[in-house]
C-alpha cells in the first residue's frame, strides 16, 4: 500500500495505513440515529445529493455541487457524514462520496426507499431536489 493511502473494508470505518491524514468522522452503524438522518435529509440540497448517490456509484465532491462555495459543500458533507448517511473517503486531492445504504437499511428498514420514492412522487419535492447534472 502506498504512503497516505487509506485501507478500506466493506462497510467499515477507514483506517490510516501510513503517515498523517485527516479522516472524517463516520459513526458506526449502531450509532446512526433516526433524528440525525431525518435532519440531514430535511435539506433540499442534501436530499438531492442522496438522490444522486442512490444509484450506488461513488462520486467526487466537486462533481455533486458545482455551483456551491467550498465552505457550503464542506458543511453539507459534514452533516451527511456525521449523521451516517454517506461515506467520504479521500483519494488523491479529492474526496469520493457514497451512500451508506446497507447501514441505513439495516438500522431503519424501508426508510431510505420511502424517502426516495416520496421525492419522485411529489412534484414539489421532486422539483426542489431534482439533479440537473444527471
- Between 20 and 130, the more confident residue is 130
Which fold is adopted by the domain 30-125? Arc Repressor Mutant, subunit A (1.10.10)
- Could you report the per-residue pLDDT of 54-73, keeping only the tens digit for each? 999 999 988 887 778 888 88
pLDDT for res 127 = 67
Parse the chain into domains and list their residue ranges: 30-125
Count, residues in the chain: 134
- Between 6 and 127, the more confident residue is 127
pLDDT for res 128 = 63
Euclidean distance between the first and the last CA atom of the chain, given in angstroms as a whole number: 34
Q: What is the pTM of this model?
A: 0.76
pLDDT for res 35 = 97
Q: What is the mean pLDDT of the chain?
A: 80
pLDDT band at 122 (very low <50, low <70, confident <90, very high): confident
Grid cell digits, residue 87: 461515506
Q: Alpha-carbon distance 12 to 29, whole Å? A: 9
pLDDT above 80 for 21: no
Amino acid at each position: 500500500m502506498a504512503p497516505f493511502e487509506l485501507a478500506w473494508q466493506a462497510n467499515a470505518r477507514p483506517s490510516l495505513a501510513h503517515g498523517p491524514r485527516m479522516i472524517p468522522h463516520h459513526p458506526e452503524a449502531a450509532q446512526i440515529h433516526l433524528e440525525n438522518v431525518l435532519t440531514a435529509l430535511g435539506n433540499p440540497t442534501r436530499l438531492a445529493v442522496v438522490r444522486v448517490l442512490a444509484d450506488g456509484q461513488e462520486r467526487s465532491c466537486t462533481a455533486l455541487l458545482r455551483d456551491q462555495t467550498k465552505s457550503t459543500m464542506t458543511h453539507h458533507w459534514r452533516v451527511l457524514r456525521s449523521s451516517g448517511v454517506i461515506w467520504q473517503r479521500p483519494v488523491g486531492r479529492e474526496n469520493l462520496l457514497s451512500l451508506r445504504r446497507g447501514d441505513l437499511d439495516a438500522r431503519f428498514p424501508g426508510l431510505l426507499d420511502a424517502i426516495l420514492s416520496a421525492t419522485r412522487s411529489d412534484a414539489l419535492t421532486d422539483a426542489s431536489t431534482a439533479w440537473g447534472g444527471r
